[in-house]
Amino acid sequence: MEFINVNSAIDTRIALIQLNRPNELNALNLQLMSELRDALKELDKDDNVHVIIITGNEKAFAAGADIKQMAGKTTIDMWKMDQFSTWEQIRKTKKPLIAAVSGFALGGGCELAMTCDLVVASETAKFGQPEINIGVMPGAGGTQRLTKAIGKVRAMEMVLTGKFISAQEALDYGLINKVVPVELYLEAAVSLAKKISSMSPIAVQLAKEAVNRSFETHLDQGLILERKNFYLAFASEDQKEGMQAFIEKRKAVFKGK
Ligand code: DAK
């Protein structure tokens, strides 16, 4: 597929999607979001891909939804655009998503990073939900995921005042996995992706689904899904190989079968 607002490349089981509207700080307009959804859908089906990294550029991961595109819209225009279904499809990606963030991750940009499963950031990264400054509020999970990740009072302050937090604060609050010097953020994301891509992709995807379920449901239902996915892993050749390799004291070779 040909994309304009995102670039996509695959290298040894790791796909890299780069948001590509640098002059607008990667503001997430409708076209970019549809392309991102389509790229993810394609990569999710590709057996050669085990892990997907989403990144921007040094100055911005994404500075939010495109304010210029939204400014004149009515409620009915917004409803007809049905952006939620695009975000929903992105959220349903089965393969692990790693956000490699440098610079601004604001509004929808912060929400996109939080939709990913792991977040690696450069020291220059800034996270925020500044929608309140433009008379609205987060609309793609910001009030929910941020609160679950960093707690009510911190989330409330960010959402009600539009305050940005630094990469170090985001790390201290448990919003992200790692902070590295700016020249290393992509490398650090790739290294995390490599580690995960060496595992059984079946077990990885089952585990991702189960961890995410803990955000979406009560403990009882989460445990039921975890149990089913645990049993399901025993239907894979990778489970036999992984356990046999342990017994034989050698490194497992996973085939995704
Ligand atoms: N939208 C459109 N253009 C943007 C933009 C944005 N969010 N952010 C930056 N730009 C554009 C600027 O207008 C400028 O364009 P020109 O003037 O050069 O044409 C260019 O990018 C460079 O920006 P600045 O000149 O402002 O750069 P600075 O370094 O001075 O400032 C900044 C950087 C990030 C502090 C500033 O650009 C800024 O405050 N940007 C807006 C941040 C923001 O408020 N973000 C939240 C947007 S609302 C939904 C899903 C998601 C959402 C809503 C609904 N559904 C599923 C329904 C999300 C909503 C949002 O994210």
- Of 144, 70, 66, residue with least CA distance to 108: 66
Evaluate whether 253 touches 245 at the Cβ level (below 8 Å): yes
- Tens-digit pLDDT profile for residues 48-80: 999 999 999 999 999 999 999 999 999 899 888
Note the pLDDT of residue 216: 83
Catalytic residue selected from 131, 167, 189, 203: 131
Ligand 1, atom 47: closest residue by C-alpha: 64
Which domains can be identified in the chain, with CATH numbers?
4-197 (3.90.226.10), 201-247 (1.10.12.10)
Q: Is 60 among the catalytic positions?
A: no
pTM above 0.85, yes or no: yes
Distance in Å, CA 145 to ligand 1 centroid: 21
Q: What are phi and psi of 183, to 5 degrees?
A: -75, -5
Q: Give dist(CA 134, CA 107) in Å, integer.
A: 11
* Cα–Cα nearest to 55, from 1, 147, 118, 148: 118
- Mean pLDDT confidence for 187-194: 98
Please tell me the residue having the least CA distance from ligand 1 atom 14. 24
pLDDT tens across 242-251, in order?
A: 999 999 999 9
Between strands 51-55 and 104-106, the pairing is unpaired
Which residue has the CA at smallest separation from atom 12 of ligand 1? 24
Look up 162 and say whether it is catalytic.
Answer: no
The DSSP-derived string for the chain is: ---SSEEEEEETTEEEEEE--GGGTT-B-HHHHHHHHHHHHHHHH-TT--EEEEE--SSEEE--B-HHHHTT--HHHHHHHTHHHHHHHHHT--S-EEEEE-SEEETHHHHHHHHSSEEEEETT-EEE-GGGGGT----SSHHHHHHHHH-HHHHHHHHHH--EEEHHHHHHTTS-SEEE-GGGHHHHHHHHHHHHHTS-HHHHHHHHHHHHHHHHS-HHHHHHHHHHHHHHHTTSHHHHHHHHHHHTTS-------
Distances 230 to 121, 207, 225 between C-alpha atoms, Å: 31, 8, 8
Tell me how far the alpha carbon of residue 62 lies from the centroid of ligand 1, in angstroms: 8
Q: Which of 32, 67, 104, 115 to mutate to test the pocket of ligand 1 (most atoms within 8 A of CB)?
A: 67
User: Is 241 tagged catalytic?
Assistant: no
Pocket residues: Cβ below 6 A from ligand 1: 24-25, 27, 63-68, 83-84, 87, 104, 106-108, 130-131, 133-134, 139-140
Q: Which pLDDT does position 79 carry in this prediction?
A: 87
Residue 96, pLDDT > 90, answer yes
**Residues 97, 115: contact at Cβ < 8 Å?**
yes
Q: Is 109 one of the annotated active-site residues of the chain?
A: no
Probe residue for ligand 1, chosen from 5, 20, 24, 86 as the CB with the greatest number of ligand atoms within 8 Å: 24
Read off the pLDDT of residues 24-49 as tens digits, 9 standing for 90 and up: 999 999 999 999 999 999 999 999 99
Q: What is the pLDDT of residues 202-257, one digit of tens each?
A: 999 999 999 999 988 888 888 898 889 888 999 999 999 999 999 999 999 999 99
Residue identifier of the C-alpha nearest atom 4 of ligand 1: 24
- For the stretch 146-190, pLDDT in tens is 999 999 999 999 999 999 999 999 999 999 999 999 999 999 999
The torsion defined by the Cα of 45, 50, 56 and 58, in degrees rounded to 10, comes to -170
Ligand 1 atom nearest the C-alpha of 86 is 56
